[in-house]
Structure 1
Amino acid sequence: MRIILAQPRSFCAGVVRAIDTVEHALQRHGPQVYVRHEIVHNKHVVDKLKAQGAVFVEELAEIPTHAVAVFSAHGVSRDVEAEAAERGLRVLDATCPLVTKVHEQGRRYAAQGYSLILIGHAGHPEVIGTLSQACAPVVLVQSVGDVEALTFPADTPLAYITQTTLSLDDTRNVIDALQARYPQIVGPDTRDICYATQNRQAAVRELSRLVDVVLVVGASNSSNSARLREIAAQGGVPSYLISDGSELARDWVCDAKVVGITAGASAPEAMVEDVIAALGRLANVEVTTLPGREERVVFRLPSDLS
C-alpha cells in the first residue's frame, strides 16, 4: 500500500500559539491553570495538557477568583471578557490572531456605519465570539438560502465578515450571492480567510486526485477538519474523518492501493503517525509526502508570557 501525505497538514501557527500559551502558563504559574473550553478542538491535545496540570472548564464560574484563566484559540464574547474582569481572573488570551483580525474587521465596518453579516456556522465557538465582538448587531448566514431570506432594504450599507475555518468554495458561493443581491456590499476577499485553512484545503484537493481513499485526521467537532473531508469527498474519493489509528476501519482501505492522509489544523502530527502505524498493521506501506506550501508563520505568545 502506498500512503501519500498532504503538505501542509496538522498544526497551524494559531494552534501552536494556543498550546504554547497553556504550557508556558503552567511553567510560570504551576498547576491549576484553568482553560475555558477546549483550547483547540482535539481530545489528544486536551488530554496531554490535562496531564501537565491544566484544568478545563466550561464556564468561568468554575474558576476560583483571581486564578489564571486561558481563553481558547476560537475567541470569546465580550460578556465572557466582562465576567472574567469582574471575577478578577488573570486572563491569558490564546485567541488566534487571525480570529482577532476578523473581530477587528467587524468593529471597523460597524464604526463606519455598515450593517454587518457574518458568514459562519451557528453554534461554533468562533462564531459565538465574533457575533459579540463586532460591537454591533450582526446577522449570521450559513448558506445561499440564508442570503435569499435576508430582509435588508436594497440600499442598506452592508459589510460581511467570515469565520476563519470555512470551505473556500462554499464561502465564495455565499459571497457571490450576497454581491448579486446587494451590489454595494463590502468585505474581505476569500483570500483573507485563514492562510492555514486555504493551504490545507488546496492540499487535500490535490491529494484527492492521486489516491483511492482519503483519511482526514482530526476531531469530529473540528470545523476545519470536517471541511477537509467534505472537499476530498467532493473530488469523488471515499473520505473519512478519523481521530487516530484506533478508529481505522479495515473496509475503508482493503481495496485501496494508494491512501491519502491529511490532518486538520488542530490535529497533532503524532496522530498522523498513529494512523500510518494502523495502516502498517494491515499491509506493507510506503510513505511519501506530496510537494506543497511550507508554512513559516509564527505568532507571538500573549504579552503576559513573552
Structure 2
Amino acid sequence: MNRPPLTIRLCGPRGFCAGVDRAIQIVVLALKRYGAPVYVRHEIVHNRYVVEGLEAKGAIFVEELDEIPAEHRQQPVVFSAHGVPKSVPEDAASRNLFYLDATCPLVSKVHKQAMRHQRLGRHVILIGHAGHPEVIGTMGQLPEGTVSLVETVEEADAYQPADPDNLGYVTQTTLSVDDTAGVIARLMQRFPNLTAPSADSICYATTNRQEAVKAAAPGCDLFIVVGAPNSSNSKRLVEVALRAGATRSMLVQRASEIDWSEIGEIGTLGISAGASAPEVIVDEIIDAFRQRFDAKVELAITAEENEHFLVNRELRDVELTREDMAWVNG
C-alpha cells in the first residue's frame, strides 16, 4: 500500500523542563534511598504516564496527608512540582512526617516575589487560572485577603482594589505569554503605579516551547501537542499553534487516543510536547504516523536549554543510573 507523504515539523525545545525532570528524579531517588513506599501529595507532574511509571516503582499518590497510614509515617512524602500552600508543610510537621519538597525552583521564585510584594505593603495580584495547583500554592504563601486572582482582561477591567496605588503582581509560570501580556497591559493602564516582579514570572521553558510552536505552526494542516488535559502549559501550546497559523490543533496523551478517521488528508504535521510530557510518548506518536504515512521529520529548533536544578540535599549522594530513568526517557 502506498503511504501518502507527510512532513513532520518537530519542535525544539519540547517536553520535560528542568523543574519536571528534577521532581521525577526526587521521587526515584527517594525510592532508592528509603525504599517503597514513597508517598506523593497530588500528581508529581501532570502526566499519567509518569504517575503510573512511578506507581510501578513503589510511589503512592495521595490527595491529602491524612491518607498516609500511621505505620508508614517514617516514609518520605514528596510535594509536587507545582508547589503547595504554607499550610501543607506545617501540617506535615504536626504529623511528624518527613517530607521532600519538589516544588520547581521557578515556582518558588514566584512565591518569594509575591511575599516580597506583601512584605512591602502591596496588595498582590496573581495572574493565573483558578483551581490550578500552582495558583493554590502561590496564594497559600500569603495571608488571607492580601492576594487577588485575575484570569482575563475582562477581570482586569472589573477589578476594584482597596488601594489602587499600592499593588504588585506576579503570574502563574505556565501561562500563554501573549494572553498574559494583555492582562498586564490592561492592569498597568488602569493602575499606573502597579509594581512588576523583579524578574519574569512565566518560566523560560513555557516561553521557549511557545516560541518553537509559533515558528513551526504556520502552514501545518494539523498540530499535535503531547500532554495531559490538566496541564496548563500543554493547553496553552494548543492555543498558540492555532493562533500562529495551524489549521487544526489537538492535545493528545498517547498515540492510542488518536482517532485516525478524523485525521484526514494532511501534508504537514507539527508536533510539540508540554513540559511534563516524556519524549518516549513523542516517539510513540511519530511512529504511529510513520505506520500510516511516508513521513520525514524536520526539526524546528528555536532555542537550546541547558538548565539543571539540584535535587534536595538529602538525596544528592544517591547515584541515579540511566536504567533508573530509562522508562521515562525512552
- When normalised by structure 2's length, the TM-score is 0.90
Equivalent residue, structure 1, for 2:154: 145
2:32 counterpart (22, 27, 30): 27
In the alignment, does 2:176 pair up with 1:176? no
- In structure 2, the residue matched to 1:70 is 78
1:275 counterpart (282, 285, 292) = 285
Tell me which of 294, 298, 301 is aligned to 1:291.
Answer: 301
Which residue does the alignment assign to 1:41? 46
Cα deviation for residue 230 of structure 1 reads 0.6
Within 1, Cα distance between the matches of 2:164 and 2:282? 50
Q: How many residues align?
A: 306
CA distance in 2, matches of 1:142, 1:251: 36
Please state whether the residue corresponding to 1:49 is helix, strand or coil. helix
Shift of 1:206: 0.7
User: Whole-Å Cα distance in 2 between the matches of residues 233 and 145 of structure 1?
Assistant: 22
Residues in 2 aligned to 1:260 and 1:182: alpha-carbon distance in whole angstroms:
40
> What is aligned with 2:321?
none
One of 232, 247, 250 as aligned partner of 1:240: 250
Distance apart, 1:188 and its partner CA:
2.9
Alpha-carbon deviation of 1:147? 1.1
User: 2: CA distance between counterparts of 1:304 and 1:154?
Assistant: 44
Q: Following TM superposition, by how much is the alpha carbon of 1:81 offset from its aligned partner in structure 2, in angstroms? A: 1.4
RMSD value over aligned CA atoms?
A: 1.4
SS state at 2:315 partner: coil
Amino acid of the structure 2 residue aligned with 1:139: S
Query: Residue deviations 1:189-237, cap 9 Å, x none?
Result: 8844100000000000111014221000001110000000011111232
> Residue 107 of structure 1 contacts residue 135 of structure 1 at CA under 8 Å; is this kept in 2?
no
> Residues 253 and 259 of structure 1 are in contact (CA less than 8 Å); yes or no, is this contact kept in structure 2?
no
Partner of 1:10: 15
Identify the residue that residue 128 of structure 1 maps to in structure 2: 136
The answer for the alignment partner of 2:125 in structure 1 is 117
Q: CA deviation at 1:134?
A: 3.0
- Which one of the candidate residues 213, 234, 242 is aligned to 1:225? 234
8 Å contact kept, 2:174–2:202: yes
After TM superposition, list the pairs within 5 Å mapping 1:88-127 onto structure 2. Answer: 88-127=96-135
For structure 1, which segment, 192-201 or 153-162, has the greater mean C-alpha deviation from structure 2 after superposition?
A: 153-162
Deviates more, 1:191-200 or 1:266-275: 191-200
Residue in structure 2 matched with residue 161 of structure 1 by the alignment: 170
| 2:327 alignment partner in structure 1 | none
1:202 aligns with 2:211: yes
Provide the rounded CA distance (Å) in 2 between the counterparts of 1:189 and 1:93: 24
The residue type paired with residue 47 of structure 2 is N
Match of 1:86 in 2: 94
Can you list the C-alpha shifts for 1:67-116, whole angstroms capped at 9, x where unaligned? 31000000001111111111111110000000000000011111111011
Q: What letter corresponds to residue 307 of structure 2 in structure 1?
A: V
Closer/same/farther in 2, CA of residues 111 and 295 from structure 1, 3 Å limit: same
Q: Secondary structure of the residue that 1:35 maps to in structure 2?
A: strand
> Post-superposition shift, 1:146?
0.9
Which whole-Å CA distance do the structure 1 matches of 2:112 and 2:216 have between them?
34
- Contact map agreement 1:77 1:132 (CA 8 A) in 2: yes
Change in 2 beyond 3 A, CA 1:290/1:171: same
Question: 1:43 and 1:155, CA in 2 relative to 1: closer, same or farther beyond 3 A?
Answer: closer
Quote the Cα distance in structure 2 between the aligned partners of 1:125 and 1:272.
25
Shift in Å, 1:281: 2.0
Alignment-mate amino acid for residue 302 of structure 1: N
How far did residue 276 of structure 1 move? 0.7
1:258 is aligned to 2:268: yes
Give the CA deviation at 1:4.
1.2
Task: Report if the CA contact (8 A) 2:226-2:252 is conserved.
Answer: yes
Match of 1:213 in 2: 222
Unaligned runs of 5+ in 2: 1-5, 317-330
Instruction: State the identity as a percent.
Output: 49
| Aligned equivalents of 2:134, 2:17: Cα separation in 1 | 16
Q: TM-score, normalised by structure 1?
A: 0.97
Q: 1:303 offset after TM fit, Å? A: 1.8
